[in-house]
Amino acid sequence: MWLSGNIERSILHLDLDTFFVSVERLKNSRLIGKPVIIGGMSDRSVVSSCSYEARKYGVNSAMPMKMARNLCPDAVVIRGDMEAYSRYSNIVTEIIAQRSPLYEKSSIDEHYIDITGMDRFYGCTKWSHELRRYIIKETGLPISAGLSINKTVSKIATGEAKPNGEIEVGKEIVLPFLDPLSISKIPMIGVKTYHVLRSMGIATIYTLRNIPAEMLEKLMGRNGIEIWKRANGIDSTPVISYSEQKSISTEHTFEKDTTDIAMLNQLLVSMVEKIAYDLRKHEKLTSCVTVKIRYSNFDTHTLQKRIPYTAFDHVLIDISKELFSRLYQRRMLIRLIGVRFSHLVRGVQQLDMFDDTPEKVSLYMAMDKLRKRFGKDAVRRAAGVMTTVEREEKARRQIENALKEQEMMEQRLRGYYIYGR
């Protein structure tokens, strides 16, 4: 069902319904209609995604797996296949890219499309409907859509259209549409903010938008103003072209060319940590890792690997080390080493690889909090930091090499003087 209304700015939001579960059901149709939980297999892991059937029992994302199993003992638990999820995500993105004037891939299963002005030529409502139907036909995946005047309202509309539906909210009906909804529907309201507002007796968006903006600013700072704007259907955030989602990289050129494998691996870990933190800080995920080396003769070689979307150090470090070991085969002196993450999308890290425990996720959050406060180098992995013994050993080798070079120079000079005589 599409709710009618005049729209000045036209933003379409598309969200694949229970995406991981839907992909698993494409692979195995016997899962259709059954409660399905995607996540780690151990009790200490967490739920990454779950079907609507499982949600009826109280299961939700990020819940400890043990609790989810207790709530829904008949659920089918699947470890998950991030490669398959990334592949289907890319198929949907390619379809959108072929048909859309301006689109943003905000996460592995969400897209925003700016179709402002299209109503003069074709009709935004008709175009949006046909695009959604085409995605369903080509992929077999259920997808919901919201069309409205900005990103916030269109995203909320998509949520109300689920499962597998579509809603248009025109300018004149934005406030009537938002007013009866729970404040939890506003995208930037998290668990803590929700509980703060509920403790003040604020339950609906109508109540929230009628509170003076100055009061919310005093309570929550700058975020209070943003929340007030979104409760009033105001959001000027632009759709950021997916083509503008470039890469993030770092390189290191050595003062003296080296073949020290241990040192190179330590440096690689440190480099990956720093740019992985940048990914998380800017709420981006990568699906392509490239490692580059330049030999002393200036020959440059690169090797890359496509991976499931991630921003976690431990995943990216392992991939980078693997690429480096495959790349560095000539055992020549290395002049430069570099790492690049590309094919970036906006989005907060999904619970990665379905193995992460709440403790691991909390550890990443704590480490990033320290980095944000004290700088990128405030917290580093032991693998990326040389111990005192390692530093002393490295210094000893450098001294030995310097003494050998000095001895060779002296021998050449003695030979020169003998020959000169």
194: amino acid identity, one letter: Y
**What is the three-class DSSP state of 306?**
strand
Burial (0-12, 13-18, 19+ Cβ within 10 Å), 357: middle
Residue pair 100/13 in contact by the 8 Å Cβ criterion: no
CB 65 within 8 A of CB 40: yes
Q: Which of 338, 263, 262 is nearest to 304 (CA)?
A: 338
172 catalytic? Reply is no
**C-alpha to C-alpha distance for 199 and 196, rounded to whole angstroms:** 5
Q: Is 329 exposed, middle or buried (0-12, 13-18, 19+ CB in 10 A)?
A: exposed
Cα gap 186→178, rounded to integer Å: 9
Catalytic residue among 24, 53, 110, 273: 110
DSSP E strand stretches across 238-386: 248-258, 284-295, 300-310, 334-342, 345-346
Pairwise CA distance, residues 132 & 138, whole Å: 10
DSSP H helical ranges for 79-150: 82-99, 124-139
Run of H or E residues at 370: helix 358-374
Task: Report the alpha-carbon distance of residue 167 to residue 132 in Å, rounded.
Answer: 12
User: 39 in the Ramachandran plot: left (φ > 0), alpha (ψ -120 to 50) or beta?
Assistant: left
- Taking only Cα atoms into account, the Rg of the chain, rounded to an integer number of angstroms, comes to 27
DSSP string, 67-97: HHHHH-TTPEEE---HHHHHHHHHHHHHHHH
Residues with catalytic roles: 110
